[in-house]
């Protein structure tokens, strides 16, 4: 089976402080992974490293069978779709929705090329697939938070990537918008032409059944990895969170509840 991602003994130091420590992880083609970690666990650093924006202090990284140090990272990034809240903040408010999507073809923030009719056709098809075709002709600033996230996912798919990274895509969404977006992501992951998806979150209940594998990051290290059903247990997650928790599965979604919590606080 082809490895989409292979990370061997990777560490990254910043001012002599270890942000990532001895990371070993591989993702096979056809697998969809969730990456779970609390704030400060090293998730963002790991994503920046996978995209080649920062270089490991030690260890080896191979993405899409391209070993770092022997490949043109600018070309490699064209095969990776990345959706993050930081990207949303950099897009001009007056940009038309379809142009936001098309910009993914050129890996640019803003559209500086003259789009072809094929570009518009592909963008429209992606917007239809993600349930946001009604935004055609609308400016980005008039879209809701959930609509913006759908546009950014469509943008991430524009260049037909082999790897799609969704970095906490539900941030800032209300309950209904979050569930609508998770449904769209599930449908995308189940489609025949789906890229391998890495879904980053710090909420276990967002780990959909399509994410059959989970990586747990804690304090810059891999705390656990493997099949989600083996990771999502009371024993594993109690150790991971450092608090006793109960785990309940409903409709394939994992609910994590703090034991003794008066307000039924979910993680």
Q: Write out pLDDT tens, residues 119-159.
A: 999 999 999 999 999 999 999 999 999 999 999 999 999 98
What six digits make up the tokens of 14? 């910043």
Distance CA 173, CA 237 (A): 25
Helices (H), 143-174: 145-157
Spatial contact of 1 and 30, defined as CB atoms under 8 Å apart: yes
Asked if 227 contacts 212 with a C-beta cutoff of 8 angstroms, the reply is yes
Tell me whether residue 120 is exposed, middle or buried, using C-beta atoms within 10 angstroms of its C-beta: 0 to 12, 13 to 18, 19 or more.
middle
Dmax (CA) for the chain in angstroms is 59
How large is the average pLDDT for residues 15-27?
93
Q: What is the pLDDT of residues 66-90, one digit of tens each?
A: 999 898 988 888 899 989 877 777 7
**What are the two backbone dihedrals, phi and then psi, of residue 35, each rounded to the nearest 5 degrees?**
-120, 115
Best CA proximity match to 240, nearest among 23, 38, 18, 19: 38
Q: What is the pLDDT of residue 187?
A: 94
pLDDT in tens, 195-206: 999 999 989 999
- pTM (two decimals): 0.91
Distances from the Cα of 24 to the Cα of 62, 81, 221, 235, angstroms? 12, 22, 9, 22
Cβ proximity of 32 and 189 under 8 Å:
yes
């Amino acid at each position: 089976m082809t490895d989409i991602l292979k990370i061997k003994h990777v560490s990254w130091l910043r001012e002599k402080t270890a942000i990532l420590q001895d990371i070993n992880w591989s993702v096979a083609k056809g697998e969809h992974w969730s990456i779970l970690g609390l704030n400060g666990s090293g998730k963002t650093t790991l994503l920046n490293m996978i995209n080649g924006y920062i270089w490991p202090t030690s260890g080896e990284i191979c993405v899409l069978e391209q070993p770092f140090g022997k490949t043109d990272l600018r070309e490699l990034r064209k095969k990776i779709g990345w959706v993050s809240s930081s990207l949303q903040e950099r897009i001009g408010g007056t940009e038309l929705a379809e142009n936001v999507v098309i910009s993914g073809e050129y890996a640019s923030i803003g559209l500086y090329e003259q789009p072809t009719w094929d570009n518009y056709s592909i963008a429209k098809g992606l917007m239809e697939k993600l349930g946001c075709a009604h935004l055609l002709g609308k400016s980005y600033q008039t879209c809701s938070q959930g609509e913006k996230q759908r546009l950014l996912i469509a943008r991430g798919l524009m260049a037909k990537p082999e790897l799609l990274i969704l970095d906490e895509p539900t941030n800032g969404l209300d309950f209904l918008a979050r569930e609508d977006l998770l449904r769209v992501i599930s449908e995308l992951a189940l489609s025949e032409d789906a890229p391998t998806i890495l879904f980053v979150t710090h909420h276990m209940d967002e780990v959909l059944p399509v994410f059959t594998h989970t990586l747990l990051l804690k304090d810059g290290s891999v705390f656990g990895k493997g099949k989600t059903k083996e990771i999502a247990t009371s024993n594993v997650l109690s150790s991971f969170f450092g608090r006793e928790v109960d785990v309940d599965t409903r409709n394939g979604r994992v609910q994590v509840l703090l034991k003794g919590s008066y307000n039924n606080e979910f993680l």
